[in-house]
Copies of this chain bind each other. A is one copy, B any other.
Amino acid sequence: MDNFTFYAPTYFDFGKDTEKHTADLIRQFGGTKVLLHYGGGSIKKNGLYQCVTESLTQAGLPFVELGGVKPNPRSGLVYEGIALCKRENVDFILAVGGGSTIDSAKAIAAGSMYDGDFLDFYQGKAKIERALPIGTILTIAAAGSEGSPNTVITDEKEFIKKGAKSDCLRPRFSILNPALTCTLSPYQTAAGCTDIMIHVCERYFSNTEEVEITDRLCEAVLKTIIHEAPRVMEEPDNYEARANIMWAGMLAHNNICGVGRVQDWASHHIEHELSALYDVTHGAGLAVIAPLWMRYVLESNPHKLVLFATRVWDVAMDESDSHGVALKGIEAFEAFLKKIGMPSSFAEIGAKEEDIELMTDKLMNGRKTEGNYVKLTWDDVRKIYESAVR
C-alpha cells in the first residue's frame, strides 16, 4: 500500500425530502448570495426548481440564476457564470442537477476566484487553490461529482474535454434524494450505473500490491450496482434500488475506493475523446471502451482481471487457466452492460472509424503512454478504438 492522504469533508444529507433543507444548509456553510446553477428544463418540469427557489426566497437568501448546462459541460457557459458571480458578488454556488451541472459549478467556483482564464486549470497551466463554496442537489447518480474534488469541462473551441481537481472543489454539502432520480430515462439510468462501475474499475485495476481493504471496497460498490441496476431497469420507481445506486455512486468517486494505490484512468481518457467529438453520453461511451480496454490489457497483465472475475462476477477459479477465468469475467461484464441497454460499438454511439487517428493524436498529445495498469502507447490506444468498429 502506498502512502496517501484522504480528506472528504462534504456534508451529505441523504434521503426523502432532503431538498427541503437547502436554504438551511447554505446558511450553515456561510452562503449569503447564491448562484443557482442548473441544466435544461427537467427541474422545472418535476417541481424541484420551484421547491428550491421558494425555499431560498422564504429564507431571505438572495440568488441569481444560470441555467442551460448541457451534458459534457461547455466552457462558454462557465465564462458566463464567472462574470455573473463577479458582477453580483455571489459567495455560494448551488448546483442543481447531475455531474455536468456540478462540474460546471466547480469551474465557475474556481474561475471566480482567479484573475486568469479558468481553462488554465484544465490545461495544467495553473493549480486551483481557491474556489467559491459549492452545495449540490443531485438529480443523476453517475458522475460522483457530488462528493469528489474533480471537474471535467469541454473546451468548445478546441473540442477538448479535460479534467481538473482540487480538494477545495469538494462540495460543502450535497443533498441526495434518490426519489429525484426515479424519472430518469432507462438510458440515462444505465449510463449512470456504467459510469459508477468504471469509476471503481479505474481504481481497482492497479499494480500496487497489498491493497486488500480498498480492493474489497471496490468490489462492494461493483456488487451493489450489479444487484441494483437490473432492478431499476425493471422498476424505475424503486426508491430502495435508486437509493443504493445513489450512495454507491458517491462512494465510487470520492476516492475511498482509490487510496493507497496507483490508479489507471485510461478508459476514461479514451472515452473523453468520444464525448468531446460526438457528444456521446459519458457512461455509454465507457460501456463501449472499458470492456475493450479490459480485453486488450488481459493479454499482457491478467492478474487483477482474474480477481475481478472471481470476486465480482463469481467466476469459479481455475488455476490452470487464469486467462480463461479473466475472460469469463469480462464476458460477464459485457453481458451485464448489454442487459441494461448499453452500447458496445462505435456504430451504436455514432462514432466513426475515420476519426480514430485524430482521437488517438488528441489523447496522446505527444505523450509516450496513457494509463498505468498497462502503459498504453499510441498504437495500443488506436487498437482499442479499432476494436470498437464492428
Considering only CB atoms, which chain B residue lies closest to A223 in the complex? B216
Chain A, range 192-249, C-beta contacts under 8 Å to B: 209-214, 216-217, 219-221, 223-224, 227-228, 240-241, 243-244, 247-248
> Within the complex, what minimum Cβ distance (angstroms) separates A222 from chain B?
9
User: Within 8 Å of chain B (Cβ to Cβ): is A187?
Assistant: no
In the docked arrangement, what's the CA distance between A216 and B228, Å?
Answer: 12
Among A6, A8, A212, A227, chain B packs the most CB atoms within 10 A around the CB of A212
The one of B3, B209, B240 in contact with A16, judged by C-beta atoms closer than 8 angstroms, is B3
In the docked arrangement, what's the CA distance between A2 and B247, Å?
Answer: 12
Chain A, range 1-29, C-beta contacts under 8 Å to B: 1-16, 18
Across the interface, do A256 and B256 meet the contact criterion of CB distance under 8 Å? Answer: yes
The one of B15, B216, B227, B251 in contact with A221, judged by C-beta atoms closer than 8 angstroms, is B216
> Within the complex, what minimum Cβ distance (angstroms) separates A192 from chain B?
15
Chain A, range 235-286, C-beta contacts under 8 Å to B: 240-241, 243-244, 247-248, 251, 256, 259-260
In the docked arrangement, what's the CA distance between A11 and B167, Å?
Answer: 11
Q: Given A220-B220, A243-B1 in contact, is the A248-B213 Cβ separation under 8 Å? A: yes
Q: Given A14-B259, A243-B260 in contact, is the A251-B213 Cβ separation under 8 Å? A: yes
In the docked arrangement, what's the CA distance between A3 and B214, Å?
Answer: 26
Across the interface, do B260 and A14 meet the contact criterion of CB distance under 8 Å? Answer: yes
> Within the complex, what minimum Cβ distance (angstroms) separates A251 from chain B?
7
> Cβ of A227: which chain B residues have Cβ within 8 Å of it?
212
> Cβ of A219: which chain B residues have Cβ within 8 Å of it?
216, 220
> Cβ of A213: which chain B residues have Cβ within 8 Å of it?
220-221, 224, 244, 247-248, 251
Across the interface, do B3 and A244 meet the contact criterion of CB distance under 8 Å? Answer: no
Across the interface, do A220 and B216 meet the contact criterion of CB distance under 8 Å? Answer: yes
> Cβ of A1: which chain B residues have Cβ within 8 Å of it?
15, 240, 243-244, 247
Considering only CB atoms, which chain B residue lies closest to A245 in the complex? B213
Across the interface, do B15 and A6 meet the contact criterion of CB distance under 8 Å? Answer: no
Number of copies: 2
Across the interface, do B9 and A9 meet the contact criterion of CB distance under 8 Å? Answer: yes
> Cβ of A6: which chain B residues have Cβ within 8 Å of it?
11-12, 14
In the docked arrangement, what's the CA distance between A23 and B16, Å?
Answer: 43
In the docked arrangement, what's the CA distance between A216 and B216, Å?
Answer: 9
> Cβ of A216: which chain B residues have Cβ within 8 Å of it?
219-221, 223-224
Considering only CB atoms, which chain B residue lies closest to A4 in the complex? B14
Across the interface, do A7 and B3 meet the contact criterion of CB distance under 8 Å? Answer: no
Considering only CB atoms, which chain B residue lies closest to A2 in the complex? B15
> Within the complex, what minimum Cβ distance (angstroms) separates A75 from chain B?
31
> Cβ of A14: which chain B residues have Cβ within 8 Å of it?
3-6, 259-260
> Cβ of A210: which chain B residues have Cβ within 8 Å of it?
240-241, 243-244
Among A216, A223, A248, chain B packs the most CB atoms within 10 A around the CB of A216
Across the interface, do A5 and B9 meet the contact criterion of CB distance under 8 Å? Answer: no
In the docked arrangement, what's the CA distance between A224 and B248, Å?
Answer: 20
> Cβ of A256: which chain B residues have Cβ within 8 Å of it?
251, 256
> Cβ of A211: which chain B residues have Cβ within 8 Å of it?
244
Q: Mark A30-56, 1 if CB is under 8 A from B, else 0.
A: 000000000000000000000000000
> Within the complex, what minimum Cβ distance (angstroms) separates A246 from chain B?
9
Could you pull out 11 A-B pairs where Cβ atoms are within 8 angstroms? A3-B15, A3-B18, A5-B11, A5-B12, A6-B11, A8-B8, A212-B228, A216-B221, A217-B251, A243-B260, A251-B256
* Given A3-B18, A9-B9, A220-B220: 19 more A-B contacts, CB < 8 Å: A1-B15, A4-B15, A7-B9, A7-B10, A8-B9, A14-B259, A209-B240, A210-B243, A211-B244, A212-B227, A212-B244, A213-B244, A213-B247, A213-B248, A213-B251, A214-B247, A219-B220, A243-B260, A256-B256
